[in-house]
Amino acid sequence: MTFSSHPSDTEGVRLARRVAELAGCSRREAELYIEGGWVRVNGEVVEVPQFRVLDQTVELDPAARRQPATAPAPVTLVLHKPPDVIATAAAGQAHAAIDLLRPETRDSSDRSGIRQLQRHLRGLEVVTPLEPAASGLLVFTQDWRVKRKLVEDGALVEHEVMVDVRGTVSPEALQQLNRAPVVDGRAMAPARVSVNRQTGDVTGLRFALKGYWPGQIAHMCSAAGLTILAVKRIRIGRLPLAGLPEGHWRYLMPYERF
């Protein structure tokens, strides 16, 4: 459904009013259409009922559905962060992870059925930090329950991290890695570290550690005399990175738990 707007003044009118008039619905129903991402102004989705229109073309998606007049459910998204992307940078800053949450990088494996809306990017927090040089599973959320699980109770959540180091890891170095580290004066729970593979001059280590503090693995490897080549987080609690490609993201499914 397409309408050309003809406002009565030079400041325009609220989009909700224009949609209500032209679609023959109530103002509240128009607001629900707009907040649900079903309305385009000059081809661009606008989700703000207060947006003012002049002579723009207003389109209502033929598949539009009015959502219940309740607060929108908070969302949680998971991203396979590439190396050299900053997990906690604000949108628009150089190499910010949140800027990867675009429609074109949404992975085809996403079976949530959720329509991506602009409001899903508002209030998102990174609750599982990663060093800029590291890659792997990164969690963004609007949900206080997820935040409580991964931040307030984060020391109880196990993270599985694959770490490539240069050279062969001696039994003594491996023993050192399995000791409880002290980072910035904080005593950490001991990690379970094992050799996962040996390829030429590179040793792949598997770290299973409760909680994750950026810099912790670097500190542990430095204490053991090891040089890190790559770090990749492949699991947080019960949630694996699985087949999510680097740079792609998806919504967390309702049945998935950390």
Count Cα atoms within 13 angstroms, Cβ side, for 6. 3
What the chain holds in terms of domains, given with CATH numbers, is: 2-60 (3.10.290.10), 76-154+240-251 (3.30.70.580), 158-236 (3.30.70.1560)
Percent of the chain with pLDDT over 90: 60
pTM value > 0.75? yes
Span 13-40, average pLDDT: 84
Split at pLDDT 50, 70, 90, the class of 7 is very low
What distance in Å separates the CA atoms of residue 133 and residue 217, rounded to the nearest whole number?
A: 12
Q: Say if CB 258 and CB 236 are below 8 A apart.
A: yes
pLDDT in the model for residue 71: 53
Split at pLDDT 50, 70, 90, the class of 46 is confident
pLDDT in the model for residue 20: 86
What distance in Å separates the CA atoms of residue 109 and residue 78, rounded to the nearest whole number?
A: 12
Query: Tens digits of per-residue pLDDT, 95-137?
Result: 999 999 999 999 999 999 888 887 888 889 999 999 999 999 9
What distance in Å separates the CA atoms of residue 47 and residue 219, rounded to the nearest whole number?
A: 46
